[in-house]
Amino acid sequence: MAHDAQAAAVGPLQQVAGDFATDKQAFTVPWGKAMMWIFLLSDTFIFSCFLTSYMNVRISTLDAWPNPSQVFALHLFGQDIPLILIAIMTFVLITSSGTMALAVNYGYRRDRRRTVQLLVATAVLGAAFVGMQAFEWTKLIMEGVRPWGNPWGAPQFGSSFFMITGFHGCHVSAGVIYLLVTAKRVASGFYDKRGSYETVEVAGLYWHFVDLVWVFIFAFFYLW
Amino acid sequence: MSEAKEGQQHPLTVYLWIWLLLFVLSTFSYLVDYFQLQGYLRWSLIITFMLLKAGFIVAIFMHMAWERLALKLAILVPPLCLLILIGFMAIEGDYTFLTRGTAFLR
């Protein structure tokens, strides 16, 4: 508490200068959390490079870019609904982000049962997302989309699509495994023995990041 | 840092409200496509909803709003240099487009 009062007295920038320049631990968070944030920062750069290269090929191609609204439409209830599968995937991922946030919260309350239930629910929603993505890939491959061409226009569409959504799908799949391992450890009382549930929050950071990346992919690849 | 509370603990209602808000914003961004808005209106709406969603996820779900300024700056400032990359690649893309236009289209 003395620390906070002191920080309030010196102002935000002096606080930052103090955190970095004093001969002590720079970030007052558990090391796992600081390292997860730094990993996510590097991952931000990877996904940004993919999205920037996608922007570059889309600007520079002479062919018309396939209309994602029609490419990702599904024929449901006797009519073509534009982009519906992607919308459902977006809602599934946001739902999983919500259950993850609640899991972190219940972890800190030491409610093991609830935490495990919410973590497993998050993992199930993540697996559902990957399943829908597999369906989407299958559908597009059947329709003739390849990394080097497609029936509707600019050949770069396929390579951008498979690269960006494939890499994101790998992140979701890894996240599902990560969450299940965390859930198993919560269930076994591992974090109670350790006396800290901060690892659940760190797993949450990864999961929210996966959702965050999807927000950008949804905006730039599917809606643009 | 108080000893009594570990990590980031906040009332459930905060998460539930943000969750609802993310649903609403996602619906809005889907409706942009559903109603086939085009041009600058479409792009500005897409970007606005995207940034709002990203902001709420990072600030509330990832607890960045409650972290110390040192961590905020260390994580949120470096990505800004991506703007330079995006700017350069946009210029380069336009140049390639024009070059291809003059070379392949007569």
CATH number for A134 = 1.20.120.80
Note whether A119 and B33 are within 8 A (CB). Answer: no
The Cα–Cα gap between A94 and A62 comes to 36
Does B19 share its domain with B59? Answer: yes
Please tell me the predicted confidence (pLDDT) of residue B18: 95
Query: Do A101 and B90 lie within an 8 Å CB cutoff?
Result: no
The Cα–Cα gap between B20 and B23 comes to 5
Q: Is residue B52 part of a domain?
A: yes
The overall average pLDDT reported for chain A is 92
Q: Is residue B5 part of a domain?
A: no
The Cα–Cα gap between B58 and B73 comes to 13
Cβ neighbour number for residue A153 with a 10 Å cutoff = 15
Please tell me the predicted confidence (pLDDT) of residue B2: 42
The Cα–Cα gap between A221 and A161 comes to 8
Query: Does residue A195 come out as left (phi exceeding 0), alpha (psi in the -120 to 50 range) or beta?
Result: left
Q: DSSP assignment, residue B101?
A: H
Does B36 share its domain with B76? Answer: no
Mean pLDDT of A52-66: 94
The Cα–Cα gap between A158 and A169 comes to 16
pLDDT, tens digit, 9 for 90 and up, residues A6-37:
555 778 889 899 899 988 888 989 999 999 99
CA A168 to chain B, closest CA, distance in angstroms equals 16
Q: Is residue B28 part of a domain?
A: yes
Q: Is residue B3 part of a domain?
A: no
Domain that holds residue B75: 67-106
Q: Is the pLDDT of residue B100 over 70?
A: yes
Please tell me the predicted confidence (pLDDT) of residue A166: 96
The Cα–Cα gap between A119 and A133 comes to 21
CA A17 to chain B, closest CA, distance in angstroms equals 8
Residue partners of A208: CB distance under 8 A and separation at least 6: A97, A100, A101, B57, B58, B61, B62
CA A143 to chain B, closest CA, distance in angstroms equals 22
Total domain count, chain B: 2
Q: Chain B within 8 Å of A140 (Cβ-Cβ)?
A: no
Mean pLDDT of B8-35: 92
Does B40 share its domain with B62? Answer: yes
Give the residue carrying structure tokens 């606080």.
A15
DSSP string for residues in chain A: -HHHHHHHHH-HHHHHHHHHHSSS-SSSS-HHHHHHHHHHHHHHHHHHHHHHHHHHHHHH-SSPPP-HHHHT-EEETTEEETTHHHHHHHHHHHHHHHHHHHHHHHHHTT-HHHHHHHHHHHHHHHHHHHHHHHHHHHHHHHTT-BTTB-TTS-THHHHHHHHHHHHHHHHHHHHHHHHHHHHHHHHTTHHHHHT--HHHHHHHHHHHHHHHHHHHHIIIIII-
Of A61, A90, A208, nearest to B61 by CB-CB distance is A208
User: For A62, phi and psi rounded to 5 degrees?
Assistant: -85, -25
| Mutate which: B71, B92, B106, vs A, most A CBs within 10 A | B71
pLDDT tier, B104 (very low <50, low <70, confident <90, very high otherwise): confident
Note whether B25 and B49 are within 8 A (CB). Answer: yes
Note whether B49 and A219 are within 8 A (CB). Answer: yes
Note whether A115 and A101 are within 8 A (CB). Answer: no
Q: Which residues of A touch B91 (CB under 8 A)?
A: none
Does B62 share its domain with B15? Answer: yes
Please tell me the predicted confidence (pLDDT) of residue A6: 58
Residue partners of B70: CB distance under 8 A and separation at least 6: A15, A16, A19, A20, A26, A27
pLDDT, tens digit, 9 for 90 and up, residues B36-91:
888 899 999 999 999 999 999 999 999 999 999 999 999 999 999 999 999 999 99
Query: Do B47 and A211 lie within an 8 Å CB cutoff?
Result: no
Token duo for residue A84:
């519906």
Higher pLDDT, A175 or B5: A175
Does B61 share its domain with B78? Answer: no
Query: Do B7 and A53 lie within an 8 Å CB cutoff?
Result: no
Supply the pTM of this predicted model.
0.92
pLDDT, tens digit, 9 for 90 and up, residues A173-215:
999 999 999 999 999 999 999 989 999 999 999 999 999 999 9
Does B15 share its domain with B62? Answer: yes
Q: Is residue B6 part of a domain?
A: no
Q: Is residue B95 part of a domain?
A: yes
Please tell me the predicted confidence (pLDDT) of residue B23: 95
Q: Is residue B1 part of a domain?
A: no
Q: Which residues of B touch A53 (CB under 8 A)?
A: 89
Please tell me the predicted confidence (pLDDT) of residue A50: 97
Total domain count, chain A: 1
Query: Do B78 and A41 lie within an 8 Å CB cutoff?
Result: yes
The Cα–Cα gap between B51 and B53 comes to 5
CA B13 to chain A, closest CA, distance in angstroms equals 10
Does B49 share its domain with B71? Answer: no
| Mutate which: B53, B72, B80, B102, vs A, most A CBs within 10 A | B53
Domain that holds residue A28: 2-223
Query: Do B61 and A16 lie within an 8 Å CB cutoff?
Result: no
Mean pLDDT of A76-81: 78
Q: Is the pLDDT of residue B3 over 50?
A: no
Higher pLDDT, B8 or B54: B54
Does B19 share its domain with B54? Answer: yes
